Amino acid sequence: MSTKEIKKEKEKEKEIEIIKEEEKEKEKEDKEIVTLVSNDEKKFELSKDLVLLSGTLKAMLTGHGSFREKQTGVIQLKNIRGEVLKYVVEYQQLLIFLKKNIEYISF
């Protein structure tokens, strides 16, 4: 192989490596975990997608302000007991499940 061919091959390898790193970063963002902490210190680790269903929590995580939650991925919910938060989380998970698995529900 000539010197030019070797350089081109190395450039292609670098490009491929950059693309792979970008894909890994995107996967990491897609699988990002957010921790909700109740006033009695019960912790719930959830996918960011699930947490973003709440308008308030979405504002904390993605808003223009400098919310601490945006940087840490931990949301302290000082007015909510763990037992109540557990049911809220289960309800949200159920809604997601139903949206993915049931196209139409008739009552």
pLDDT tens-place string over residues 36-82? 999 999 999 998 888 888 888 888 888 776 677 777 889 999 999 99
Per-residue model confidence (pLDDT) at position 19: 83
pLDDT of residue 26: 64
CA atoms within 13 A on the CB side of 69: 22
User: Which pLDDT tens digit goes with each residue over 9-43?
Assistant: 888 888 888 887 777 666 655 568 899 999 999 99
- Please tell me the distance from the alpha carbon of residue 70 to that of residue 68, in angstroms, as a whole number: 5
| pLDDT confidence tier of residue 7, bands split at 50, 70 and 90 | confident
From CA 15, how far away is CA 9, in angstroms rounded? 10
Cβ(33)–Cβ(48) below 8 Å:
yes
Answer whether 0.85 is exceeded by the pTM. no
